[in-house]
Amino acid sequence: MKIAVFSSKKYDVDSFNKLEHNHTIHYFETTLSESTVALAAKHDAICAFVNDHLNDDVLQRLNELNIKAVFLRCAGFNNADITAAEKYGIAIYRVPAYSPEAVAEHAMALVLCLSRKIHKAYNRIRDNNFSLERLTGFTLNGKIIGVVGTGNIGKCFCRIALGFGCRVIAYDVREDEELVKMGVEYHSLDKVLEHSHIISLHVPLFPETHHMIRKESIKKMRDGVMIINTSRGALIKTRDVIKALKSGKIGYLGIDVYEQEENLFFEDLSEKIIQDDLVSRLMTFPNVLITSHQAFLTSEALQEIAEVTLQNVEDHLNGVSTKNRII
């Protein structure tokens, strides 16, 4: 099978090249969109990532190019128009669970960095400033951590938080019995928002979760709350969060995703002027920590993504039923 891989980076190429396979893979650094879909010509399938466009127009063009399979090398599929894919008879596969520990560990790293002001201390030391003034943090032990979404990643995060001696309360449409036995308390979303010192988001992006963190929900939270998002950027309404940061309602914000990240993340823009005023404003806050969608980026996770993606290809070719196929 000839596969066109979009939004590819060197680490993608390296992880796929470590594996034995009989497929011809062409790598394109560009994002898949209406203007780049022509690159898929003369291929049998495409492999896409989180910011690639799989809307009706792109899927229609893929259908015209006789491409009948899309292999996502990520868990989320909110960037894919499922109805359009069904209309054109295009199968879509994903990698539903690649090293959930990697993302959960990164979420806790954001918590630790913000709670102990490690990012500020690091920058000070580089300027030979060894003062401890204004570096006072807070102890995690005994704090209430609210986990919104206890799927694979949220479950891992709960385990980590319990290990720090935190009281963990959670919201999910389905309670996890194993977590309950470990001491996690399930409550309504409102109660989780109201009582948590730290809130970590681990839910997919669906219409019902879009902008779940906005003015109305922020009002329910404790003053000085910490919000962590390693899931999908559009779970947070950035303008409302900026207002809450300015007022002090939100005391800390750690995000690995951003609702307008498409033209920012995964690129070196160090010699360019950032045109996004919202992310520029976020970066001015000393209590905000932003990483560029790197929570998944461990050698173990990359290898698992490559392995599962290639297995999805084999399953598609052999007509094997798999839970990784979305449609």
Q: Over the chain, what is the mean pLDDT? A: 97
- Are 271 and 308 contained in the same domain? no
- Are 67 and 207 contained in the same domain? no
When pLDDT is cut at 50, 70 and 90, the band that residue 185 belongs to is very high
The two structure tokens encoding residue 114: 């913000």
Assess if residue 323 is contained within a domain.
no
Tell me the per-residue pLDDT of 317-327, one tens digit each, with 9 for 90 and over: 999 999 999 99
- Are 79 and 113 contained in the same domain? no
Q: What percent of the chain has pLDDT over 70?
A: 100
Q: What is the structure's pLDDT at 38? A: 98
Tell me the per-residue pLDDT of 209-235, one tens digit each, with 9 for 90 and over: 999 999 999 999 999 999 999 999 999
- Are 312 and 189 contained in the same domain? no
Q: What is the structure's pLDDT at 270? A: 95
Q: What is the structure's pLDDT at 215? A: 98
- Are 94 and 105 contained in the same domain? no
Tell me the per-residue pLDDT of 84-102, one tens digit each, with 9 for 90 and over: 999 999 999 999 988 899 9
Tell me the per-residue pLDDT of 43-72, one tens digit each, with 9 for 90 and over: 999 999 999 999 999 999 999 999 999 999
Q: What is the structure's pLDDT at 26? A: 98
Assess if residue 326 is contained within a domain.
no
Assess if residue 179 is contained within a domain.
yes
**CATH number assigned to the domain comprising residue 264:** 3.40.50.720
Assess if residue 325 is contained within a domain.
no
Residue 258 DSSP symbol:
-
When pLDDT is cut at 50, 70 and 90, the band that residue 116 belongs to is very high
Please measure the distance between the N-terminal and C-terminal CA atoms of the chain and give it in whole angstroms: 20
Q: What is the structure's pLDDT at 98? A: 81
pLDDT at 7 over 90: yes
- Are 142 and 255 contained in the same domain? yes
Q: What is the structure's pLDDT at 84? A: 98
Tell me the per-residue pLDDT of 254-305, one tens digit each, with 9 for 90 and over: 999 999 998 899 999 999 999 999 999 999 999 999 999 999 999 999 999 9
Q: Which residues are catalytic?
A: 232, 261, 293
Assess if residue 208 is contained within a domain.
yes
* Residue range 242-252: mean pLDDT, rounded: 98
- Are 70 and 179 contained in the same domain? no
- Are 41 and 144 contained in the same domain? no
**Parent domain of 309:** 2-98+299-318
The two structure tokens encoding residue 256: 């690995």
Sheet holding 198-201, edge to edge: 185-186, 167-171, 144-148, 198-201, 225-229, 250-255, 288-290
- To the nearest 10°, report the CA torsion of 140, 192, 206, 240: -80
The two structure tokens encoding residue 224: 């000085």
- Are 30 and 162 contained in the same domain? no
pLDDT at 117 over 90: yes
* Residue range 126-147: mean pLDDT, rounded: 98
Integer CA distances (angstroms), 309 to 6, 96, 103, in order: 14, 10, 19
- Are 119 and 244 contained in the same domain? yes
Assess if residue 324 is contained within a domain.
no
Tell if the pTM clears 0.95, that is, is over it. no
- Are 252 and 309 contained in the same domain? no
What domain count does the chain have?
A: 2
pLDDT at 174 over 90: yes
Assess if residue 192 is contained within a domain.
yes
- Are 104 and 85 contained in the same domain? no
**Beta strand segments in the chain, E:** 2-5, 24-27, 45-48, 69-72, 91-93, 144-148, 167-171, 185-186, 198-201, 225-229, 250-255, 288-290
